[in-house]
Amino acid sequence: MPLKLEDKLVVGISSRALFDLEEENTIFERDGLRAYSDYQILHENDILKPGTAFPLVKALQNLNTDERHLTEIIIMSKNSADTSLRIFNSIEHYGLKISRAALVGGVKISPYLNAFRTDLFLSANEDDVQEAINANIAAGIICSHGELPIEPNQEIDQIRIAFDGDAVIFSDESEQLFQSKGLKAFAEHEHINAQEPLPEGPFAKLLKTLSFVQQQFPKETVPIRTALVTARNAPAHERVIRTLRAWNVRIDEAFFLGGIEKSEVLKAFGANIFFDDQTVHTDPASKLVPAARVPYKQ
């Protein structure tokens, strides 16, 4: 009987998000595909170092037990099957339970995301993430500056996921208003529309799926904790709260920062991943916690 993915949290992840492949990517960009392929085949028995998303993936897999299969991790890569052995050798070395992959040999990944019922796609390639967002898939460009130490043996007791609000959980409608007409117009608009739920953004479905997963556990042992970390403040907070209530979505912590730097709050929360649409937030945050930038839909 075929495995059904509809009732699972499906995360598609590129090899560069899972492992540290920055040196190999430099070879590809500098010398081309042939040089990259030759290098990967020559080094296919060399184990790769963990990448930015490695701890998150490992923790998500730990949600699965013999009785309950809640998450599915799928490698989604532009590698060919011939150049992928190093990836799977590294997966086996670290004991990750990843057995499924879409290795598309240089063509676009986005058409396959819906085929695999993908809830979240993580990649270091901006074009791939942009195409995923355009296809209405929650997706983030993994920030990998090499400054955040990754410990492969780290055990995460509770997965902590933090989201920005506008242009991430919610649509970019209010964000665009703020950028075009300023703070005063934004505040007035949100006050007038406080009773009107915000339109869904690219991560709304993912947040709802996470909420569903949370509900599968007793309250005192829920292994996922979520946080909203937004630059909004009062009175613009009301519309956010009413929107989440209308969606019947659980969010565990909310921070309405009104322009305060997000990084220290994210560090205090202990985020295992943070999603935001602006580099002014993801770049400093990525030095303290794993972060991913969410591009606007085109």
Distance CA 251, CA 25 (A): 37
Tell me if the domain spanning 9-142 has CATH number 3.40.50.1000: yes
DSSP state for residue 121 in the 8-state scheme = E
Distance CA 103, CA 107 (A): 9
Residue 146 pLDDT > 70, yes or no? no
Per-residue pLDDT band at 1 (split at 50, 70, 90): low
The tens digit of pLDDT for each residue in 232-287 reads: 887 778 999 999 999 999 899 999 998 899 999 999 999 999 999 999 999 999 99
Which residues are within 8 A (CB) of 284 and not within 5 positions of it... i.e. 6 or more apart?
261, 262, 263
DSSP state for residue 137 in the 8-state scheme = -
The tens digit of pLDDT for each residue in 219-235 reads: 888 999 999 999 888 77
128 is catalytic: no
On average, the pLDDT of the chain sits at: 90
Asked whether the beta carbons of 174 and 194 are under 8 A apart, the reply is no
- For residue 237, the one-letter residue type is H
Distance CA 162, CA 274 (A): 5
195-217: string of b/e by CB count within 10 Å (b at 16+)?
eeebebbbbbebbbbbbebbeee
pLDDT at 141: 97
Residue 145 pLDDT > 70, yes or no? no
pLDDT at 125: 93
E strand spans, the chain: 9-13, 71-77, 100-103, 120-123, 138-142, 159-163, 224-230, 253-256, 273-276, 291-293
Specify which residues 274 forms β-bridges with: 162, 291
Per-residue pLDDT band at 155 (split at 50, 70, 90): confident
Architecture of the structural domain at 159-293: 3-Layer(aba) Sandwich (3.40)
Residue 134 pLDDT > 60, yes or no? yes
> What does residue 153 show for φ and ψ, rounded to 5 degrees?
-95, 5
pLDDT at 294: 97
> What does residue 275 show for φ and ψ, rounded to 5 degrees?
-110, 125
CATH 3.40.50.1000 domain range(s) in the chain? 9-142
Catalytic choice (164, 166, 172, 277): 164
Distance CA 69, CA 73 (A): 11
The tens digit of pLDDT for each residue in 194-212 reads: 899 999 999 999 999 999 8
pLDDT at 274: 98
Tokens (6 digits) for 27? 């070879």
Asked whether the beta carbons of 129 and 121 are under 8 A apart, the reply is yes
